[in-house]
Amino acid sequence: MLEMIAAHPFLSAAGPAAASALLAAAQLFSAPRRTVIFTPEAAPEALYLLLEGSVGLSMRGADGTRGLLEIIGPDECFLMPAVILGGTWPFGAEALAPSRLLRIPAEAFHAIIVQDSRLAEASLTHIARQWQGLAEQLVEMKLTKASERVAHFLTGRLMPGGRVAMPEPRAAIAARLGMTPESLSRVMHGLEAAGLVRLQGRRVDVPDAKALSQGARASGH
Amino acid sequence: MLEMIAAHPFLSAAGPAAASALLAAAQLFSAPRRTVIFTPEAAPEALYLLLEGSVGLSMRGADGTRGLLEIIGPDECFLMPAVILGGTWPFGAEALAPSRLLRIPAEAFHAIIVQDSRLAEASLTHIARQWQGLAEQLVEMKLTKASERVAHFLTGRLMPGGRVAMPEPRAAIAARLGMTPESLSRVMHGLEAAGLVRLQGRRVDVPDAKALSQGARASGH
DNA sequence: CAGGGTGCTTGCGCTGCATCAAGGGGCCAC
DNA sequence: GTGGCCCCTTGATGCAGCGCAAGCACCCTG
């Protein structure tokens, strides 16, 4: 069990010494759907590793409304920027599907990172990748239309076999893609009408991945 | 002169030892408006500090179009995520106003960071802040309308005295805000008609900052 | 199995923003 | 000064996506 957790990409990048030190301070816990893992008001007191499930990372905008920044998948790590910067940040995290996660107190993380340069390097690489992820999403938001974003999202989640799992509520996916649940629904059914996907509740079948990524550009609807 | 550069926020956070080592490897250069500092095709071979002027950081989207990620201001540092991750990234940088910058070769940066933990810490903090900046922009893109984004951009650039300098071309600002130059022009002149700003070419006067940030929400035009 | 609730879908009208296409105004070269 | 160019503006039109509101399917509870 613990060995499986130590195989987490971030921990293995950090090296065995840091991994076991972090694990010693960490707590493992489960979160059913809709559990609030972290509220925007509190100071970030821990770093989280998602082992299984799906977590939505949200952020309060200037006017108080909440927007979904990113959907975190298994084997990912979140809240690191907030833990590094310290202070209070308007982030929130909520389980979008039944999840298992590991909570690493910020104090432990800080204590270990100052004496383990490999952990520092792994953290640097990790945040750089996170930055890149947001950058791609930002450019996509700025210059592609909603239907293309949906198609791209689906292809990004494509499993071998042409299946796409969407365990999280539609409203969360819509928020991640910067659109309303209604628009998402219309686009998805439009893709189905065009024969590019087949909808089966929380699962989606993609017969031809190449057709999907190209066809969405043409069919505006 | 060199002392002034060493006072750069990033260098002073990295500590005097790392700062002088980085400066020893760095090259200082100037770039007139429209100079391409870095093209999306090349591998990132250097980290840049902007001393004066304005630089646009762009990124190629999936379909080949280029979007403006962020406008870099004086005393900021850019391209660090690409330098840390290595490999080829679709980033580009271009001077949007006459600029002076410092070029730090990636090799030197990597050589110094492995033996200077304070530089590593400063880099970590820096990228975390960059991440936060993109996150805020992303949420803003997702849930506010164009006119509000313009107002927020203006308030963010407000100098004491109610002046806003906009040395970069309108098209670049529009791209940064995720809209067309035409829309930006219309919004700005709409704000002027509402008495919230006064336009004077590349300079904008804001008589009442509070009125601007609140008034833009109401006036859809 | 009935009841209620939640989450997904669908229809319709409307608004914001993009798009296309001219029209000005300032800046630089000469 | 004056011509040319680039950038910014302004107008007209179309469409993508939002808001609202109703209908429907599924799930959990009792």
> Closest by alpha carbon to A34, among A95, A89, A92?
A95
Residue B128 and residue A178: Cβ atoms within 8 Å? no
- Is the four-CA dihedral B4, A127, B73, B100 of positive or negative sign? positive
Q: Which residue of B has its CA nearest to A132?
A: B81
Contacts of A142 in chain B (CB under 8 A): 67-68, 141, 175, 178
What does the DSSP 8-state code read for residue A29?
Answer: E
| Residue B97 token pair | 């106003």
Higher per-residue pLDDT: B18 or A88:
B18
The answer to whether the Cβ–Cβ distance between A59 and B142 falls below 8 Å is no
CB A83 within 8 A of CB A106: yes
Q: Which residues of B73-101 are buried (b: 16+ CB within 10 A; e: fewer)?
A: eeebbbbbbbbbbeeebbbbbbbbbebbb
- Work out the angle between the directed axes of helices B16-25 and B106-113 (0-180°, nearest 10): 150
Q: How far apart are CA B47 and CA B58, in angstroms?
A: 15
Query: What pLDDT shows up at residue B7?
Result: 82
Angle between helix B209-218 and helix B146-156 axes, rounded to 10 deg: 170
> Closest nucleotide to residue B179 (Cα to C1')?
C17
| Whether residue A37 has pLDDT greater than 90 | yes
Which candidate from A80, A89, A117 shows the least CB-CB separation from B120?
Answer: A117
B131/A129 CB distance under 8 A: no
What residues in B contact A152, CB-CB < 8 Å?
62
Please answer whether residues A53 and A93 qualify as being in contact, where contact means their C-beta atoms are separated by less than 8 angstroms: no
**Which residue in this structure is represented by tokens 């979904």?**
A68
- Quick one: tokens of B215? 């008034």
Given pLDDT bands bounded at 50, 70 and 90, which one contains residue B216? low
pLDDT at A139: 96
Contact B62 A140 (CB under 8 A): yes
Q: For residues B3 and A11, give the distance between their C-alpha atoms in angstroms, rounded to a whole number.
A: 40
* Phi, psi angles (nearest 5°) of residue A68: -85, 120
- Cβ A171 to strand C below 7 Å: yes
- Nearest residue in A to B79, CA atom: A128
Residues linked to residue B194 through DSSP beta bridges, in sequence order: none
pLDDT per residue as tens digits for the range A96-131: 999 999 999 999 999 999 999 999 999 999 999 999
Residue of B nearest to A117 (CA): B117
- Over the stretch B43-96, which tens digit does the pLDDT of each residue have? 889 999 999 999 999 998 777 788 999 999 999 999 999 999 988 888 899 999
Give the type of residue at B122: A
- CB-CB contact of A209 with A158 (8 Å): yes
Residues of B in contact with A132 (CB under 8 A): 81, 85, 89
Asked if B67 and A139 come within 8 Å (Cβ–Cβ), the reply is yes
Q: Stated in angstroms, how far is A180 CA from D20 C1'?
A: 13
